Amino acid sequence: MTGGDTDAPASPARTIPPRELSVWALPGIPEIAAGDNLVALILAAAAARPLMDGDILVVTSKIVSKAEGRLVRAEDREAAISAETARVVATRNGTRIVENRLGIVGAAAGVDASNVPAGTVLLLPEDPDRSARILAAGIRAAGPHIGVILSDTIGRPWREGQTDIAIGAAGVRVFDELEGTPDSAGRPLAVTRPCLADEIAAAGDLVKGKTFGLPVAVVRGYADAVGPLDLPGARSIIRTSETDMFRFGSDEAYAAGFAAGLNAVADTESSRS
Amino acid sequence: MTGGDTDAPASPARTIPPRELSVWALPGIPEIAAGDNLVALILAAAAARPLMDGDILVVTSKIVSKAEGRLVRAEDREAAISAETARVVATRNGTRIVENRLGIVGAAAGVDASNVPAGTVLLLPEDPDRSARILAAGIRAAGPHIGVILSDTIGRPWREGQTDIAIGAAGVRVFDELEGTPDSAGRPLAVTRPCLADEIAAAGDLVKGKTFGLPVAVVRGYADAVGPLDLPGARSIIRTSETDMFRFGSDEAYAAGFAAGLNAVADTESSRS
């Protein structure tokens, strides 16, 4: 098994040149306000170390929301969460896990009260894939053929803490399609479909951090993931309800089952009498 | 808001120098067999570009399993899955989502049939945090003060595809503890606790890939996460059952509730007669 010789004869494993990623945050992006031109601000921030074809920008969705004027008064926080909620998945001790209108399952529907002025909350972009496309198209028009991922921070059901995921994507493959690719023993890798976009979002978070005023990361070295702007966006990462084994919290599903069990007996009783 | 001046007066946001990560895979690690000395193999693979203090090694848990002799005959695959299973969380269409003996929730309890010889399956390391400590201690004894993360590939309930996560860790902070840190508006970031170890595992996967024979990645540039070997391991990432809102699949919880509803009526009936 070798790691690098791309001139070697075809082997059962895919021969991909070993890659090296460089990941850094763009310095000097100011606090963003509604109407700000993110393309211009990002290009200015990248001036000292220009973007190159094949770079992937990981943009904290929060600054896109701010530029798009998605800040609302904090008095409306609960109403804002409800408006962004497609359905409640589970609730416990004041935490509401919901599926938001984008299909993303998480706490508070992505309504954010951190890093915004007191008295306000920030909603997610209206359509993060569209926002990513607009950003990517604007930057590509200025030169470099880059991809854009909009990231957000989200919890996980069985693991403590949060990681960043992709909630929007443009011009970048969101999955590494390995299905059917032979593994190193020559057998097909049946179910492996790494979510590149989420892994790139996570890598970007490592240099952006949450509190440092560094909302845009550059990931250089994965140019083979960068492609046309009409590649499927982050919406394609959302699992459909047909394959969702955790559509409701355990307590919620149990309670619904319990009520149905009671009713089933009542129905039998009433049909007997 | 600036990204870089570490001599600036204290601001509400933490002043952390902007970091740049370099992420690459070690070339030339051979197919691993039981008893192989991973410390020696990793150091040899790193000879051309020596490891430095503060580097974090992301090691595919599979090679640790192989070195530890965790390969079992494939005839025993279902038995192996059952033996590794602490409890079944959900089943659908032949997919068993289980909590394994390490507390990790995923498909097939981490029992792996890819990238192993035909007729065999590979179990996870007996104790991945211990394995990570042994590796880290061995490499540190040879010089560089590195951290080690053992990674595995796992699916997510509400998102398609897989990402790599940390199933073992040694000498590296698994969480970035931001709780109480002021955000850029000076208010405490109440609930944010980024899971560094999982984000670093994801970044490592981007250069390792699944099929290229590159099982070890180096993440350089996050030295402030590297610390003593007795820092909490990846086990500390596992959510406890008390805070797990998705302890069972929706169908399983509903069925349990339904049966309890039927029984509740039966109990009432029998106490009445």
**Which residues numbered 9-28 in B keep a CB inside 8 Å of some CB on A?**
13-16, 18-28
Per residue in A223-252, pLDDT tens? 999 999 999 999 999 998 888 999 999 999
Question: For the residues B51-55, what does the mean pLDDT come to?
Answer: 98
pLDDT of residue B12 exceeding 80, the answer is: no
Six-digit token string for A18: 């070993």
Q: Specify the pairing of strand A147-155 against strand A56-60.
A: parallel
Predicted complex ipTM: 0.90
Query: Cα–Cα distances in Å, from A249 out to A53, B89, B99, B157?
Result: 44, 12, 16, 12
- Does B94 contact chain A (CB < 8 Å)? no
- Does A209 contact chain B (CB < 8 Å)? yes
d(C-alpha A98, C-alpha B190), whole Å: 19
- Does B54 contact chain A (CB < 8 Å)? no
Q: What is the per-residue pLDDT for B233?
A: 98
Q: Are B142 and B157 within 8 A, CB to CB? A: no
Q: What is the per-residue pLDDT for A13?
A: 42
pLDDT of residue B268 exceeding 80, the answer is: no
- Does A249 contact chain B (CB < 8 Å)? yes
Q: Do A236 and B264 touch (CB under 8 A)?
A: no
Q: Do A257 and B254 touch (CB under 8 A)?
A: yes
d(C-alpha A137, C-alpha A149), whole Å: 13
Q: Which of A18, A20, A61 is nearest to A234 (CA)?
A: A61
Q: Are B148 and B132 within 8 A, CB to CB? A: yes
pLDDT of residue B88 exceeding 90, the answer is: yes
pLDDT of residue B230 exceeding 60, the answer is: yes
pLDDT grade, residue A17 (50/70/90)? Answer: low
pLDDT of residue B2 exceeding 60, the answer is: no
- Does B224 contact chain A (CB < 8 Å)? no
Q: Are A178 and A193 within 8 A, CB to CB? A: yes
Average pLDDT along chain A: 88
Surface-to-core class of residue A28, CB atoms within 10 Å of its CB (0-12 exposed, 13-18 middle, 19+ buried) = middle
Residues of chain A with pLDDT > 90, as a percent, come to 68
Q: A167: nearest CA in chain B?
A: B159
Enumerate the residues of chain B whose CB falls inside 8 A of the CB of residue A192: 114, 153, 162, 210
> What percent helix, strand, coil does chain A show, rounded to 5?
35, 25, 45
Q: What is the per-residue pLDDT for B8?
A: 35
Q: What is the per-residue pLDDT for A14?
A: 45
Per residue in B146-177, pLDDT tens? 999 999 999 999 999 999 999 999 999 999 98
Q: Do A185 and B210 touch (CB under 8 A)?
A: no
Those residues with Cβ within 8 angstroms of residue B95's Cβ, 6 or more apart along the chain or in another chain = A245, B107
A17-26, A32-41, B216-225: least confidently modelled range: A17-26
Q: Do B206 and A196 touch (CB under 8 A)?
A: yes
Q: Do A246 and B90 touch (CB under 8 A)?
A: yes
pLDDT of residue B101 exceeding 90, the answer is: yes
Using CB atoms, pick whichever of A25, A187, A253 lies closest to residue B257: A253
- Does A136 contact chain B (CB < 8 Å)? no
Six-digit token string for B20: 């740049």
Using CB atoms, pick whichever of B22, B95, B257 lies closest to residue A257: B257
Instruction: Walk me through the domains of chain A, giving residue ranges and CATH numbers.
Output: 22-272 (3.30.1330.100)
pLDDT of residue A190 exceeding 70, the answer is: no
Using CB atoms, pick whichever of A92, A161, A209 lies closest to residue B237: A161
Other C-beta atoms closer than 10 Å to the C-beta of A198 total 29
Other C-beta atoms closer than 10 Å to the C-beta of A194 total 21
Q: Are B200 and B208 within 8 A, CB to CB? A: no
Residue type, A35: G
A149-163, A169-183, B85-99: least confidently modelled range: A169-183
**Is the pLDDT higher at A119 or at B210?**
A119
Per DSSP, what are the bridge partners of residue B162? A194, B155
Average pLDDT along chain B: 88
Enumerate the residues of chain A whose CB falls inside 8 A of the CB of residue B25: 3, 18-19
Q: Å from B241 to nearest chain A CA?
A: 9
- Does B187 contact chain A (CB < 8 Å)? yes
Those residues with Cβ within 8 angstroms of residue A88's Cβ, 6 or more apart along the chain or in another chain = A96, A97, A98
Q: What are phi and psi of B164, to 5 degrees?
A: -85, 140
Q: Are B136 and B228 within 8 A, CB to CB? A: no
A28-32, A217-221, B264-268: least confidently modelled range: B264-268
Q: What is the per-residue pLDDT for A266?
A: 78
Q: What are phi and psi of A208, to 5 degrees?
A: -80, -40
Per residue in A99-131, pLDDT tens? 999 999 998 888 988 777 888 899 999 999 999
A-B interface: how many C-beta pairs under 8 angstroms? 367
Distance of CA A110 to the CA centre of its chain: 11
**Is the pLDDT higher at A182 or at B117?**
B117
Per residue in A39-55, pLDDT tens? 999 999 999 999 999 99
pLDDT of residue A262 exceeding 50, the answer is: yes
pLDDT of residue B24 exceeding 60, the answer is: yes
- Does A232 contact chain B (CB < 8 Å)? no
**Is the pLDDT higher at B207 or at B14?**
B207
Q: Are B111 and A264 within 8 A, CB to CB? A: no
Question: For the residues A193-201, what does the mean pLDDT come to?
Answer: 97
d(C-alpha B66, C-alpha B29), whole Å: 13
Q: Do A202 and B207 touch (CB under 8 A)?
A: no
Q: What is the per-residue pLDDT for B10?
A: 36
Q: B93: nearest CA in chain A?
A: A243
Surface-to-core class of residue B33, CB atoms within 10 Å of its CB (0-12 exposed, 13-18 middle, 19+ buried) = exposed
Q: What is the per-residue pLDDT for A95?
A: 83
Q: What is the per-residue pLDDT for B209?
A: 72
pLDDT grade, residue B80 (50/70/90)? Answer: confident
pLDDT of residue B108 exceeding 70, the answer is: yes
Name the pTM for this structure.
Answer: 0.90
Surface-to-core class of residue B38, CB atoms within 10 Å of its CB (0-12 exposed, 13-18 middle, 19+ buried) = buried
pLDDT of residue B272 exceeding 90, the answer is: no
